[in-house]
Chain A
Amino acid sequence: MILRKVSYKFSLYLCSAFLLIFCGIPLVWMLFTSLKPLGELLSYPPKIFGHYTLSNFKRLFTDTYFLIYLKNSVIVAGMTVILDIVIATFGAYSLTRYRYRGKELLANMTLFTYMFAPIMIIIPVYILLQDLKLTNSHLGIILAYTSISLPFTLWLLRAFFQSFPAHLEEAAFIDGASRFQSLMYVVIPEALPGIIATSVFAFVVVWNDYLFARILLSNPTMKTMPVGLQDIFESTIVDWGLLMSGSMIVTIPAIIFFLVVQRFLIEGWGMGAMKG
């Protein structure tokens, strides 16, 4: 009995170690490299001990427009997440609580939008945004990103709403609440974990994207961070110090966003019976 407990704990810690190494070591490497001076960065064998300096970070902030790119990414990602959640919540609510023709068809079609490779639609999307005079604008690219994140978030929220027992809403209706109030005050709080999960997905879609940002944005002050990093990297002839320090900074908002979100994923389970 004790042996089983010990081996159970042991395997838990083994798994933890594996995950920390597999996922975390590259992060640690990035951190160390961002703190090394350029002359020592590429030395082989790789040295862990040596000089450490904040010069890469300093150069990142003073010599490049990196902070502007980061700001743009945060704004675009934030707006996309908000727009996406609002539209998807309404849409999911509509698909699960109303009846009208074509509902089933719509519900099933949403995920199939991912069968189209982004590289396939970039030219027509560009043409479309150009006709709407939305190229080179944050609004235009937010719409484009929303279209990519929407299908999955819609599906996810629909699954959550579906598993949400109707009788809780019934109780609210009996109390005299309108559909809208029921949505706002009963359904959404219950579905919060799902909403959080979808916001993670939408955030990453934007945070990660290179292709759309590169093609649809032209103004240097509008660039988002992946495009900006690539340009910094190329234009400084491979300044690994800048790249690594930039990457470190880039992970910070993502980690913060995620840590905040993570707590919600854990809470909310106390709400009890969410049957599959």
Chain B
Amino acid sequence: MSEIKKMSRRGFLKGVTGAAVAGMGASLLPKGVHSQTRSLSIWHTEPSDLTVKAVQKVCDRFMELHPGVKVVQEGIGWADLGPKLTISLAAGNPPDISHIQPYMFRSFQKKGFIIPIDDVIRSIGVDNIHEAVRDMTLYRNHWWGISHEVGCPLLMIRKDIAEQAGFKVPDDITKPMFKTWAEQIEYLKAVTKPEKRQWGMSLPGTGYFLQEHCGRWVGGNGGTFYDERWNPAFHKEPFIGVLEFVKTLSDQKLIPPDWLSQSWLGMIVEFSTGMTTMIDHGYGRIAVSIAKYAPDKASEDYFKPIWRPVGPLGKVDYTDLDSEPWVIFAKSKNQDLAKEWLKLFYSRDMYLNYIKTYPVHMYPITKSLANDPEYQALPELKQWPSWVRQQAEYIKRKQATPVGVFAPAKNIQIPFLAEVFDSGMIVDEIVAMVQGRRKAKEAAQRISDRANDLIKKLGYPVPDPIRSEKKA
């Protein structure tokens, strides 16, 4: 009896340790031992199931054309994709292809993380891509990325509410309704009725989006984030003007009371449900929200884009290009396959299928698709024609500059945009100002100071960080 018991105890313990060791060993087996297949991993910023399916179609077709290759894609919102991409790069294991934000491009390029993809551009047709979009990642005669689509946030207004309040909304979408911010404020005052739960404009409290608003506005106020020597220009008059504009909106209560903790998605819902009458961040995606929450108002009689006004110091208004470029990472072991995948992605049928998932938001980068009758026959385009036309107009007039870069577009060459933008320091100071802890001028100066500190810490000469470029 005791023999059996002794054995069972020893046997059990042996079994457990054996299993543990075997398990660890198995998981430690180098992958290459049993997988001869090549693989492609693709990360992008479109988490919507519709779009994921469209990308999957490209992947499936690719796997048909290239047997033995395994393609895996993942769609995550940027708020998560950013950190995840950062971690994977820190671990030395990025995906093969990924979306990045335009303002990160130079940072990645300078560190040698990505490769040029001139041949992909050429195969799609150099003249076939809208210039402003194509040359977003042009540096030293190479193209380093290619945008998956291009959308421009538009200034949108509730036409019915405006007309009820006695204002005329122009039919011509290239004519601004207000010439200046001051006029815009007057309008907002007229339509803000808190007791009826109606506020003038939506503003996002979320750092990324609030900073995006400021970038558009500083361009419209004749200014920039960085001057030609790459010095932070936040302390100059145009940006101070932007801060004062935000402060007016907040002080006069023309924006919902808890705007500071409002996310961009919440802002879209606010606008769709009529809680606010205007939104500066009129993405095409709002069409989805309207269809859900206000299906009876889903037409341009209710939601219409208007051309932007300019600030007191500005002459030309700007919007931004929301268009994440695909890039191929240098660490990828299958760069050739990656390039083939991208070429397949932009082939007419595949690309049309992709754009179809959100046609009002996703304007195609290729002129060939934009002019394609099947694209132009898409029902959403018929439902919201002005939205698409105004975006195309901004792009044509070169008044759409990449997100995070803003005006002038060539600032995309600055290699520290990502760190300053993502740090959220601009939003920090805006909040301090809005809460009355600082005056606009002081807040603006602090942003420039903090930006200079960070730029210095990153190893660039301060002032005039452009000096670091002479070497390359």
CB-CB under 8 A from B139, the residues of chain A are: none
B197 touches A44 (CB 8 A): yes
B41 touches A237 (CB 8 A): no
Classify chain A's interface size. 35 or more
B91 touches A214 (CB 8 A): no
CB-CB nearest in chain B for A119: B83
CB-CB nearest in chain A for B285: A237
Per a CB cutoff under 8 Å, which of A44, A178, A235 touches B47? Answer: A235
Give complex CA distance A235, B293 in Å.
Answer: 15
B47 touches A218 (CB 8 A): no
Closest CB in chain A relative to B358 CB, distance in Å: 10
B47 touches A177 (CB 8 A): no
Q: Is the interface of A mostly helix, strand, loop or mixed?
A: helix
CB-CB under 8 A from B197, the residues of chain A are: 44
Closest CB in chain B relative to A13 CB, distance in Å: 36
With A231-B77, A237-B288 already in contact, the answer to whether A42 and B273 are too (CB < 8 A) is: yes
A214 touches B84 (CB 8 A): yes
Complex interface: stretch among B1-9, B372-380, B403-411, B453-461: B1-9
B41 touches A218 (CB 8 A): yes
B:68-100 near A, CB below 8 Å: 72-77, 80, 83-84, 87-88, 90-91, 93
CB-CB nearest in chain A for B78: A234
Complex interface: stretch among A100-108, A123-131, A254-262: A123-131
Residue A50 lies at the interface, judged by CB distance under 8 Å to chain B: no
B269 touches A132 (CB 8 A): no
Q: Is the interface of B mostly helix, strand, loop or mixed?
A: helix
CB-CB under 8 A from A99, the residues of chain B are: none
With A123-B87, A134-B27 already in contact, the answer to whether A234 and B47 are too (CB < 8 A) is: yes
Residue A215 lies at the interface, judged by CB distance under 8 Å to chain B: yes
Give complex CA distance A52, B6 in Å.
Answer: 65
Residue-wise, chain A 219-244 has the 8 Å CB interface mask toward B (1 for contact) of 11000000000111111111111000
Per a CB cutoff under 8 Å, which of B73, B289, B293 touches A39? Answer: B293
Q: How many residues of B contact A (CB 8 A)?
A: 50
CB-CB under 8 A from B51, the residues of chain A are: 235
B295 touches A63 (CB 8 A): no
Residue A263 lies at the interface, judged by CB distance under 8 Å to chain B: no
CB-CB nearest in chain B for A90: B16
CB-CB nearest in chain A for B1: A176
B293 touches A234 (CB 8 A): no
Residue A180 lies at the interface, judged by CB distance under 8 Å to chain B: yes
Residue A64 lies at the interface, judged by CB distance under 8 Å to chain B: yes
Per a CB cutoff under 8 Å, which of A215, A219, A220, A241 touches B84? Answer: A215
Residue B48 lies at the interface, judged by CB distance under 8 Å to chain A: yes
Residue B22 lies at the interface, judged by CB distance under 8 Å to chain A: no
With A123-B91, A215-B84 already in contact, the answer to whether A178 and B292 are too (CB < 8 A) is: no
B:28-49 near A, CB below 8 Å: 28-31, 41, 43, 46-49
A235 touches B8 (CB 8 A): no
Residue B126 lies at the interface, judged by CB distance under 8 Å to chain A: no
B293 touches A42 (CB 8 A): yes
8 closest pairs, A vs B, by CB?
Answer: A235-B48, A235-B47, A231-B47, A238-B265, A180-B9, A178-B9, A178-B5, A127-B91
Name 13 interchain pairs, CB-CB below 8 A, sorted by A. Answer: A39-B295, A42-B293, A44-B197, A63-B49, A178-B5, A180-B8, A180-B9, A219-B74, A220-B52, A230-B77, A237-B288, A237-B289, A238-B265
